[in-house]
């Protein structure tokens, strides 16, 4: 495996800086706060950190609206603080990738300020301006944050395009000068020593020629159209050549709207585009936009299989169950009740950390942190949630209680509440008033207590990460689902040359006896188990509620 790139065997950890650790008491997480907690990452054993946007931003979308790509957000600190964080990670052997948000900028970026100043401004074509049609927007594109994806600008009498908030105007990637600026920004951070980029909604950068209206069918899932522009692969290959070639960089594209069949076009190494992508099929399995819908284990495991198939022989995949845009994994796919939270968090970690993919842990999931008990719309912060309330509830389309019921499961804020470091009411996150409330269950779920408990969710993650490092079969081994139609127990093998392991996870609270196929037997090397050890040589495995097992096979 020596010829394999470093990022295939790496375990990544996503940090949402606003909520990780506050070092100066203003209630907002910051870079020095992260630096003060690097021992936590070392103890966990992760290899690379994905830092959500740390750049100067007015925070219309918590940093995903960038005003200056070469400056650090004032709330997060200074460039010296960034350099200090990077040095701290480097001396611990941990790489850093930063968040490249270049489908759009902030409306306060100098480029947009110039662009909107006059139709003749040299920066006009950095963005997408169109005349209105019949007194309305140029087409029927919706924004993901509710309403139209077009905003009329009085100063020049045209509309500009924004797939997200009106404060996030989309860049015009058809303009070579835009692409040249982006590649220069990438080289700036690579030269500082970052190891690569997570690329925000990167498939959206190529727009449909002529920007025709979406059909009724396309309107049901606009991201599919937004992600299938004709030049996306040309742009990504040019980006590779201009900014990434020869850097041994790790890139992961947020492939919102990209189907499994298109994935190889982004990740086949021979195409020199991206290292890997995030699919959304798992985290959106039980969602129809803001509504929550039931999911089944066969659906869940079908996505695991499709993800592995899409990576194929020449590509690579990611595995993740949570990020800053999704509910907490244990609340989403596990059971966050006091009885089953620990066991189910361990079970989900076992699944995520034994895939043929680079795992991306989200801050706090290593503790089994849960969703937050939001009660009213005022408890929420997210621009997306506020947009839903404004366009659905305030217009009378949806009762407030109905939207709140679904948001209690699907809102992005659940993953944005502060990291729970201690049992104190402030979670040890801040000495001030946190920007978003700390979950009251920090008394039961916090890093301090788990560090001292070898049976904690934290140490289960630590052991699994160590297993990946010790057993190449867990990284590169072929994936085979042993029972695709299974409704209760997720069981699969990973096989590489002479080595084979079997992963068996009870995805429910009821105890169950699971029969493995004849050719798969539990060997005598039990790699990890969150309950009673199975008998070596057995092919009938008794599993306690939410028990997970990783074992060598005979």
Residues of this chain that bind Ca ion (CB under 5 A): 22, 24, 26, 28, 30
Between 56 and 384, CB nearer to ligand ISL: 384
- Residue closer to ligand ISL (CB basis): 324 or 341: 324
Give whichever of 214 and 473 is closer to ligand ISL, judged by the CB atom.
Answer: 214
Closest-CA residue to 411 (of 532, 262, 255, 291): 291
Q: Compute the least distance from the CB of residue 447 to Ca ion, in Å.
A: 18
Name which of residues 148 to 167 contact ligand ISL (CB under 6 A).
Answer: 164
d(CA 290, CA 144): 11
Distance from the Cα of residue 205 to its chain's centroid = 19
Q: Give which of ligand ISL, Ca ion, none residue 28 binds (C-beta under 5 to 8 Å, depending on kind).
A: Ca ion
Q: To 10 degrees, what angle do helices 176-192 and 79-91 make?
A: 60
Q: Tell me the residue nearest to ligand ISL as measured from the CB.
A: 64
Q: Is 313 a catalytic residue?
A: no
* DSSP-assigned letter for residue 437: P
Which run of H or E residues covers position 305? Answer: helix 297-311
Please identify which residue in 273, 325, 426, 483 interacts with ligand ISL, judged by CB under 6 A: 325
Q: Is 360 in the site for ligand ISL (CB under 6 A)?
A: no
What one-character DSSP code corresponds to residue 71?
Answer: E
Q: Which is nearer to Ca ion, 35 or 139 (CB)?
A: 35
Which of 30, 200, 238, 325 is labelled catalytic? Answer: 200
Contact call for residue 214 and ligand ISL (CB under 6 A):
no
Measured distance CA(531)–CA(533) in Å, rounded: 6
Please name every residue paired with 549 in a beta bridge, in sequence order, or none if there are none.
Answer: 504, 529
**CA-closest candidate to residue 46, choices 95, 119, 85, 1:** 95
User: Rounded to an integer, what distance in angstroms lies between the CA atom of residue 279 and that of residue 224?
Assistant: 12
Of residues 248-267, those binding ligand ISL (CB under 6 A): 254, 256
Count of residues engaged in binding ligand ISL, rule: CB under 6 A = 12
Q: Specify whether 200 is catalytic.
A: yes
CB closer to ligand ISL out of 352 and 385: 385
What is d(CA 257, CA 262) in angstroms, rounded to the nearest whole number? 10
Taking CB under 6 A as the rule, does residue 107 contact ligand ISL? no
Q: Is 101 in the site for ligand ISL (CB under 6 A)?
A: yes
Using DSSP, state whether 15 is helix, strand or coil: strand
Give, as ranges, the residues between 115 and 154 that touch ligand ISL (CB under 6 A).
144
How much of the chain is in helix, strand and coil states, percent to nearest 5?
A: 35, 20, 50
Backbone angles phi, psi at 413, to 5 degrees: -65, -25
**For tokens 């003060």, what's the residue?**
36
Q: Which residue, 365 or 384, has its beta carbon nearer to ligand ISL? A: 384
| Residue 470 token pair | 């010790």
Q: Which does 26 bind (CB under 5 to 8 A by kind): ligand ISL, Ca ion, none?
A: Ca ion
Show the DSSP H helices in 37-138 as ranges.
Answer: 38-44, 79-91, 110-115
Among 56, 61, 81, 170, binds ligand ISL (CB under 6 A): 61
Task: Tell me which of 22, 254, 286, 366 is the catalytic residue.
Answer: 254
Where on the chain is the footprint of ligand ISL (CB under 6 A)? Answer: 61, 64, 101, 144, 164, 200-201, 254, 256, 324-325, 384
What amino acid positions are annotated as catalytic residues? Answer: 200, 254
């Amino acid at each position: 495996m020596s010829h394999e790139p470093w990022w295939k065997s790496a375990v990544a950890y996503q940090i949402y800086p606003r909520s990780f650790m506050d070092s100066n008491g203003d209630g907002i997480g910051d870079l020095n706060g992260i630096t003060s907690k690097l021992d936590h990452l070392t103890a966990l054993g992760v290899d690379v950190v994905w830092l959500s946007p740390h750049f100067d931003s007015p925070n219309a979308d918590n940093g995903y609206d960038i005003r200056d790509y070469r400056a650090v957000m004032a709330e997060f600190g200074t460039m010296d603080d960034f350099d200090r964080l990077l040095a701290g990670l480097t001396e611990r052997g941990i790489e850093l990738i930063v968040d490249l948000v270049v489908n759009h900028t902030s409306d306060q970026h100098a480029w947009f300020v110039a662009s909107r100043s006059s139709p003749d401004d040299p920066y006009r074509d950095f963005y997408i301006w169109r005349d209105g049609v019949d007194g309305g927007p140029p087409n029927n594109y919706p924004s993901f944050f509710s309403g139209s994806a077009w905003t009329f600008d009085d100063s020049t009498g045209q509309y500009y395009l924004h797939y997200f908030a009106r404060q996030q105007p989309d860049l015009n990637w058809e303009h070579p000068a835009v692409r040249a600026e982006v590649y220069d920004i990438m080289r700036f951070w690579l030269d500082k020593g970052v190891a690569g980029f997570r690329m925000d909604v990167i498939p959206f950068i190529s727009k449909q020629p002529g920007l025709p209206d979406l059909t009724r069918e396309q309107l049901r899932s606009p991201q599919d159209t937004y992600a299938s522009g004709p030049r996306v692969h040309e742009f990504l290959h040019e980006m590779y050549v201009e900014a990434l070639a020869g850097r041994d960089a790790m890139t992961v594209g947020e492939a919102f709207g990209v189907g499994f069949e298109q994935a190889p076009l982004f990740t086949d190494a021979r195409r020199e585009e991206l290292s890997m992508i995030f699919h959304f099929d798992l985290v959106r399995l039980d969602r129809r936009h803001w509504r929550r819908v039931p999911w089944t284990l066969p659906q869940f495991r079908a996505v695991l299989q499709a993800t592995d198939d899409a990576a194929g022989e020449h590509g690579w995949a990611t595995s993740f169950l949570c990020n800053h845009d999704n509910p907490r994994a244990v609340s989403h796919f596990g059971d966050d009740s006091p009885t089953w939270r620990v066991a189910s968090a361990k079970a989900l970690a076992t699944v995520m950390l034994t895939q043929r993919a680079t795992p991306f842990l989200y801050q706090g999931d290593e503790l089994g942190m849960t969703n937050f008990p939001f009660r009213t719309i005022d408890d929420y912060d997210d621009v997306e949630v506020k947009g839903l309330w404004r366009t659905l509830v305030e217009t009378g389309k949806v009762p407030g209680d109905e939207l709140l019921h679904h948001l209690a499961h699907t809102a992005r804020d659940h993953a944005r509440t502060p990291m729970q470091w201690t049992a104190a009411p402030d979670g040890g996150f801040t000495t001030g008033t946190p920007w978003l409330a700390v979950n009251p269950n920090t008394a039961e779920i916090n890093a301090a207590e788990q560090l001292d408990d070898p049976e904690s969710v934290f140490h289960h993650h630590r052991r699994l990460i160590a297993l990946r490092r010790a057993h190449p079969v867990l990284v590169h081994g072929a994936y085979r689902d042993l029972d695709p139609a299974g409704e209760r127990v997720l069981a699969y093998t990973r096989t590489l040359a002479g080595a084979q392991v079997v992963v068996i996870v009870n995805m429910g609270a009821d105890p169950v006896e699971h029969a493995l196929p004849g050719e798969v037997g539990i060997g005598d090397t039990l790699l990890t188990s969150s309950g009673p050890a199975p008998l070596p040589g057995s092919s009938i495995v008794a599993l306690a509620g939410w028990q997970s097992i990783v074992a060598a096979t005979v």
